[in-house]
Amino acid sequence: MHTIQINDDTYTLPQSWDELTLAQLRHLVKLTQSDIPVEEIKIHMMLYCLDAHVGRHKDIFHDKVHLVIGQQSEKINFRVRKNSYMLTPKEISRLADLFHYLIHLDESKYGRDFDHYYINPDLNTNPLPTLRCRLRKFTGPDDQLLDITFEQYMYIQAYLDSMKSTPEHIDYLLSCLWHSGKKFDINRLDRDASILHHLPSDIKMVLYWFILGSLNLIAANYPRVFSGTSGGNGRVFDSQMRLLDSLAQSDMTKKPEVRKGYLVDALYSMDESLRRGEEANSETNK
């Protein structure tokens, strides 16, 4: 957490996606779905996380911002006092810049009429390891998707691709990871998806950010595996099937075992195989 000091008072602010609370993440979703320009989201998140708002002040102080911060009781949900500050716009901007990790600026777009800002989902901690929907309990994955199977990964990639044309498939995407049984079972996918359809839309988006953030981290941890292109006909599921065939060494009897195995084990095997190939090529070229 960031520790900041305003006058003689000390406050804390989250310094990464993983330190944002579920309430803060849901507020961020609402901001992204509003008319607020993306580059201003940092200011609004700073105000929300400080439980602050901009108050009125006399014209004599027109060059400063009147910031009012409420403090909640540690024992009960009740605001015990308010602190009032007069800050310059530069000081407000400096505080808001602590949330720089929320936004990505596409530098390749420089030189155009406007800058291109995007939400940068870097959430790796599962905000809802378990959840209840329609009186059903769903068990989700570990942080960073460390416990998912290769089969789950295959379906995740397929539904991420299909969401480009059918956003409603997010229910199926989520049911690949949050399942009502003890383990993921593809035969329950339709039923689980029909129940998760009733989750609030902001909760769905938070979980979607967690999936994207975790997949980005996985790709960063195994650059050899994810550095190439998929090739083929461009169909994601086909590329996953080819990858499955490669891991099973074209042995049909091994494919069920590979599908049920952990994704991290499959990635480590592929990464090690590619590393050995690189070493062999290096020795050959000497």
Q: Residue 285 and residue 228: Cα distance in Å, rounded?
A: 21
CA 82 to chain centre: 33
Q: Which residues pair with 138 in a beta bridge?
A: 131
- The structural domains of the chain, with segments of one domain joined by +, span 2-119, 130-281
Res 276: pLDDT: 78
Q: In the 8-state DSSP scheme, what is residue 157?
A: H
* pLDDT reading at 236 higher than 70: no
Give the range with max mean pLDDT: 41-55, 80-94, 235-249.
41-55
- The values of phi and psi at residue 69, to 5°, are -115, 125
Q: pLDDT grade, residue 168 (50/70/90)?
A: very high
**Amino acid symbol at 11:** Y
Res 231: pLDDT: 46
Q: Residue 150 and residue 199: Cα distance in Å, rounded?
A: 26
Res 142: pLDDT: 96
- Indicate the SS3 state at residue 25: helix
Q: Which residues pair with 269 in a beta bridge?
A: none
Res 229: pLDDT: 47
User: ∠ at Cα 216 (214, 221), nearest 5°?
Assistant: 95
**Amino acid symbol at 91:** E
pLDDT in tens, 49-98: 998 888 776 655 567 888 888 766 555 555 556 788 888 888 888 999 99
pLDDT in tens, 193-226: 999 999 999 999 999 999 999 999 998 888 887 7
Q: Residue 156 and residue 152: Cα distance in Å, rounded?
A: 6
Edge-first strand listing for the sheet containing 65-72: 52-54, 65-72, 79-87
Quick check: 80 and 71 in contact, CB under 8 A? yes
pLDDT in tens, 125-164: 999 999 999 999 999 999 999 999 989 998 999 899 999 9
Q: What is the mean pLDDT of the chain?
A: 83
Q: pLDDT grade, residue 286 (50/70/90)?
A: low
- Indicate the SS3 state at residue 70: strand
